[in-house]
Amino acid sequence: MFFTLLTVLPLSAQQMPPRFGAGPQPATAMEAVAAFKAATGVTRLTNVVEIRGTGGAPTPAVWTVVVHDPASPTRLSEYSVRGPRVEDRRPCQLYYPKRVPEGYFDYGKVTVDSAAAFRAADREAGIARIGFDLIDYRLRCREFSDDPIWDVTMRTADGVALGTVSISNKTGKVLRAVWTRPGPRGALAVAEDSAEPGARPLSTQVPVGPKVPEVRREPVPAPVREPVPETIPAEPVPAPVEPPVGGVGPVPCR
């Protein structure tokens, strides 16, 4: 029995989930993409459909990178990245032919990492008085554009979605926040949408810098042309009178 306790207790301690925010955190999205590039030899990651991670506390243990792949039977491949290594590669079954992705984006445009997206979403959740246990991340393409945005979804420990915050990856601005609250006495849940007219304004706004003064260009005056002096035509010189051939001409009278 003593030997059994020695062998079981360390394993049980490893299987216990880490406390929220305690200990070293797994790789962020940017660190996972760097590991993906190192494992695949890709120097520039283009035609990305999404980068997602689920069950973060606050950082997910595994990131999934979905990219366009003409060799895949679904034209899309997804890679599972855990820490510094790629664990799996398989055809992505989430989109074609069931549904189409929002679009494709170049990862070179990504400037906001998942850690910064968490801070923005956590600030919104605090103002809305929403407590959560787990976080799902999804970096996708914004509709009808090639700009990537973050969708950060807060969940309870049982996996119930509490709300989603969408964050621009170009400016870091919170674009939208949708929260779900339980209704009174078992009624339907109530949704709070920041896009709804009259809703509470979002807290995370991009500070507006000083307006750059417009440079006014003075009109360039047209070049002054000097008047061209008029030339007086010279009087015609009378042609010399040649004497007639064969004799002397008439002598004028005096």
pLDDT tens digits for 194-246?
998 988 778 754 443 333 344 444 555 666 666 656 665 566 666 666 655 55
pLDDT at 80: 97
pLDDT at 200: 77
Q: What is the mean pLDDT of residues 30-56?
A: 95
Q: What is the mean pLDDT of residues 74-88?
A: 95
Is pLDDT above 60 for 143?
yes
pLDDT at 10: 33
Of residues 247 and 165, more confidently modeled: 165
Q: And the tokens for 57? A: 């506390």
pTM attached to this predicted model = 0.70
pLDDT at 5: 34
Is pLDDT above 70 for 106?
yes
Q: And the tokens for 58? A: 């606050």
DSSP character string of 93-149: -SSTTT---S--B-GGG----HHHHHHHHHHHHHHTT---SEEEEEEEEPTTSS-EE
pLDDT at 7: 35
Q: What is the pLDDT of residues 152-194, one digit of tens each?
A: 999 999 999 999 999 999 889 999 999 998 777 766 678 899 9
pLDDT at 183: 72
Phi/psi region, residue 15 (left: phi>0; alpha: psi -120 to 50; beta: rest), is alpha
Q: What is the mean pLDDT of residues 118-129?
A: 95
The three-class DSSP label of residue 5 is: helix
The residue type found at 129 is R
In the predicted model, what is the mean pLDDT of the chain? 80
pLDDT at 201: 78
The answer to whether 47 and 38 are in contact (CB under 8 A) is no
Is pLDDT above 70 for 12?
no
pLDDT at 246: 54
Of residues 145 and 4, more confidently modeled: 145
Of residues 223 and 21, more confidently modeled: 223
| Cα–Cα distance list, 197 to 183, 201, 202, 205, 218 (Å) | 21, 10, 13, 18, 45
Q: What is the mean pLDDT of residues 68-84?
A: 95
pLDDT at 181: 85
Q: What is the mean pLDDT of residues 5-10?
A: 34
